[in-house]
Amino acid sequence: MFNDFKVTGGRPVYIQLKEYLKRMITNGHLLVHQKLPSTRELSFLLSISRNTVLTAYADLEQEGYIYAIKGKGNFVSQVETSKAPTIELNWSDKINDQTFLANELDLMKKGVNWNKETIFFTSIAPDENLFDVDNFKRAFINRMSIEGNAILNYGYAKGYKPLIDYLLHYMEIKGVDITNKAILITNGFTEGLDIVLSSLKKNNGRIICENPTHHSALKLFQLHGFEIHGIKMDDDGVHVKHLEQSLAEREYDFAYLIPSYHNPTGIVTSSEKRMELMDLFSKFNLPIIEDGFNEELRYSGSHLAPLISFAGLGNNVIYISSFSKILFPGLRVGWVLADKDLIYYLESVKRARTIHTSTLDQAVLYQYLQEGYFEKYLKKAKSVYKKKYEIAVQYCKLYIPFKRMTGDGGLHLFIELEETIDSRKLLEKCYQKGTVFSPGDVFYTDGSGKNTFRLGFSRLKEKEIIQGIKIIGDELKNMMEAKK
Ligand SMILES: Cc1ncc(COP(=O)(O)O)c(C=O)c1O
């Protein structure tokens, strides 16, 4: 500011300064009650005498442009300013169809009003009370001191190299053959999926997936203009016969599957079925997008290898996962593991869109993982979630007259009621009693599932889980009674 003031010959300098300041005030560049530089500062800044500034300020004060407060300095008075004309645009007229669709599908905007006492079964986010903030702080300080200021500069679109190497090894331990495979770090699973969907050619514009499935994935498929075909699920994963029939009848661009703690059903696809699925997709030469978001949250039995590990050296599986459920969703760190030729192209899309995921976040996460805090956290979190899971299962069996309940672990259960019961009507009744859950229809590809709902228990206290389930059970029994 003030560096565009140029003294010209012919007129006294104090008048030139006065007019310059007047213009600054009337143009709105100096705001009402803004403090002006002291006469000493301004004379130094403009290389003019202090007396010149004093005289200009005195004149401006006399003309009402500025006012002085003893011992504090000079300030801009309230004067008429000429502002740029304001215009009122109607932004709704300028919004495109894709954005209207995103708005229409945005469940967050349609959430119910809540108060502190409401029991929320709607969330499947981790319980932040479990986060070990002290170790995270330690990881932050350690990594900052190792990396120094470079960590705050631009990084690489592919991601932070030590984290990529850590994850490659992590996936190798899960049984994945990482030969000719590479990783792209993304802002959570959701960005990974968005990048993949933006990058693949739409040959027939059709996707095949489990029915029901992850709502955010459905939303992205729709926003990318894909037609979605859902296959019903058995208790051990997708119904293979129906899948095979659909694959034989029509062509698809790819399949999207959530083999472990599927959202919303909580079903874990059995090992045998994973093998069967891989055989089937190989037969139809179809790429698979595997969503591995939750697979660490197994409370009993041994770990089930992801589909990508069954692919061996094959390259038809694009595995996308994140630390959102197993650690901290707020970090927004996820990864895509796939054929290195595909990652090569995805890297350019990532660079074009967001340049890269925050290096600081990736580096601190890497330090946290490398120091072994993750395993400790996971052990603790799993024991807490296991208890909540067991309580939820026990009390659902006790209080809710369901037709089918699924959920082999993870952070939620899925309930199917008698056909005649509309879960949104049940939700209305439960809401009056201070309990809410996610109506199941939002997860279905074909508008069905009106008699289903998802119960997320991860963030609730044990007594809230029991109390909430009892409320749902009582309201449901009342509805069933009224229908008799
Ligand atoms: C099926 C599924 N995949 C992935 C995610 C995680 O997405 P993000 O990493 O973008 O938070 C979720 C979160 O709820 C999910 O339900």
Ligand 1 — pocket residues by CB below 6 A? 124, 188-190, 214, 258, 263, 291, 293, 322, 324, 329, 334
Closest CA to 298 of 407, 173, 459: 407
User: What does the pLDDT look like over 377-426, one tens digit per residue?
Assistant: 999 999 999 999 999 999 999 999 999 999 988 899 999 999 999 999 99
**Those residues with Cβ within 8 angstroms of residue 484's Cβ, 6 or more apart along the chain or in another chain:** none
In 387-474, beta strands by DSSP E: 404-406, 412-416, 435-436, 438-439, 452-456
Closest atom of ligand 1 to 191 CA is 10
> Hey, what amino acid is at 120?
F
Protein fold of 129-374: Aspartate Aminotransferase; domain 2 (3.40.640)
**Is residue 67 very low, low, confident or very high in pLDDT (cuts 50, 70, 90)?**
very high
Structure tokens at 385: 């979630």
Q: Are 165 and 371 spatial neighbours (Cβ–Cβ below 8 Å)?
A: no
Positive or negative torsion for Cα 236, 169, 373, 163: negative
Measured from the Cβ of residue 283, the count of other Cβ atoms closer than 10 Å reads: 11
pLDDT exceeds cutoff 90 at 221: yes
| Domain 99-128+380-483 classification at class level | alpha beta
Closest CA to 475 of 417, 403, 411, 407: 417
**Is residue 457 very low, low, confident or very high in pLDDT (cuts 50, 70, 90)?**
very high
Average pLDDT over residues 207-214: 98
Classify 414 as helix, strand or coil: strand
| Domain 13-76 classification at class level | mainly alpha
Lowest mean pLDDT of 11-25, 290-304, 399-413, name the range. 290-304
> pLDDT over 70 for what percent of the chain?
99
Output the CA 261–ligand 1 centroid distance in Å.
11
Output the CA 231–ligand 1 centroid distance in Å.
20
pLDDT of residue 214: 98
Distance CA 126, CA 454 (A): 16
Residue ranges covered by each domain of the chain: 13-76, 99-128+380-483, 129-374
pLDDT exceeds cutoff 90 at 352: yes
pLDDT of residue 84: 67
Output the CA 189–ligand 1 centroid distance in Å.
6
- Output the pTM of the full model: 0.86
Measured from the Cβ of residue 58, the count of other Cβ atoms closer than 10 Å reads: 15
